[in-house]
Amino acid sequence: MTGIYDDPWAYELACAFRDVPAEVDAVLGWCAGLGGAAPRTVLELAAGPAEHARAFARRGLTATALDLHPAMCAYAARCASDDGVALEVVRDDMTTFALDRRFDVVVTMLDSTSHLMTLDAFTAHLTRAAAHLAPGGLYVLEMSHPRDRIGAEPSVATEWTVERGGVRAAVRWGGEPLDPVTQVADDRVVMTIEEPGAAPRTIRDLVPYRFWSATELDAALRLCGELEKVAQYGDFGPVALDDPEAWRMITVLRAAR
């Protein structure tokens, strides 16, 4: 069976609800406000199709995308090449990677740290990210908002539709409650794609998800000891984490002094 990450084109379509250029603008705005000099290099971790890395590259940054999945890496490289965008793609693990350089911005988008199942893995990831930050560089870590999983009305399943280039898709992602001991759930993904002239096709998958709370993030940062929190937001717009409208948990980190 083909899973959602085995079909990067479908995964990218499923995520078309995002405004990637606006998210990249927000990150660059935070860099201008918090980091100082305009960033020239960016590393996207667990990048999948590397939509953000490609958008950074279109703005003139030297961009690198890292992912563990060979299909995602191949797709990211192909999209960049098709668009005439310079992108370095590295197949590696976000808990162990060691590149030979540092970056002005490191980003991990869309809750990719939910693939890190243990505190050791999460801490190792933070340590690796810190090791790749240039002086004054920022690490922007986007996670889902904690109330998605532990609020009064957890929204453990979400459904949405997307349309792009005449292709329509209905997506359902989530549904299983967290195991209260491990904080892991197998997120059930069902995506039905309708393309003109083709029979509808459905991708079904179970994606293991590890919920990380805001306080666990703080604990992992303390264990890592190499990053300090400089800001936290509830969306890419000006929304505080505790705002009722907040739906993401975005943390801006820099090397601890």
Ligand X SMILES: C[S@@+](CC[C@H](N)C(=O)[O-])C[C@H]1O[C@@H](n2cnc3c(N)ncnc32)[C@H](O)[C@@H]1O
**Interface contacts to ligand X, rule CB under 6 A:** 5, 15, 46-48, 51, 67-69, 72, 93-95, 109-110, 112, 115
Which residue number, 68 or 136, has a Cβ lying nearer to ligand X? 68
Cα 216 from Cα 180, distance rounded (Å): 15
Euclidean distance between CA atoms 205 and 98, whole angstroms: 31
Name the minimum Å distance from CB 25 to ligand X. Answer: 16
What does the alpha-carbon distance between residue 132 and residue 149 come to, in Å, rounded to a whole number?
Answer: 31
CB 140 within 8 A of CB 46: no
CA–CA separation, 210 and 114 (whole Å): 5
Q: Which is nearer to ligand X, 70 or 200 (CB)?
A: 70
Measured from the CB atom, the residue of 52 and 254 that comes closer to ligand X is: 52
Query: C-beta of 231: minimal distance to ligand X in Å?
Result: 20
Q: Which ranges in the chain belong to alpha helices (H)?
A: 8-14, 20-30, 51-58, 70-83, 119-131, 147-150, 214-224
Give the residue with the Cβ less far from ligand X, 136 or 207.
207
CB of 107 to ligand X, least distance (A): 8
* Chain position whose Cβ is nearest to ligand X: 48
Please report how close the Cβ of residue 248 comes to ligand X at its closest, in angstroms: 11
Contacts of 76 (CB under 8 A, 6+ apart): 8, 47, 48, 49, 50, 53, 54, 65, 67, 87, 89
Give yes or no for a contact between 10 and 169, defined as CB atoms under 8 angstroms apart: yes
Beta carbon of residue 15, minimum distance to ligand X (angstroms, whole number): 5
Give the nearest distance from C-beta 7 to ligand X in angstroms.
Answer: 11
CB of 82 or CB of 153, closer to ligand X: 82
Alpha-carbon distance of 44 to 60, in angstroms, equals: 15
Q: How far is the CB of 5 from ligand X (least distance, A)?
A: 5
- DSSP summary character for residue 32: I
Task: Decide whether 70 or 237 has the Cβ nearer to ligand X.
Answer: 70
* Residue with smaller CB distance to ligand X, 51 or 235: 51
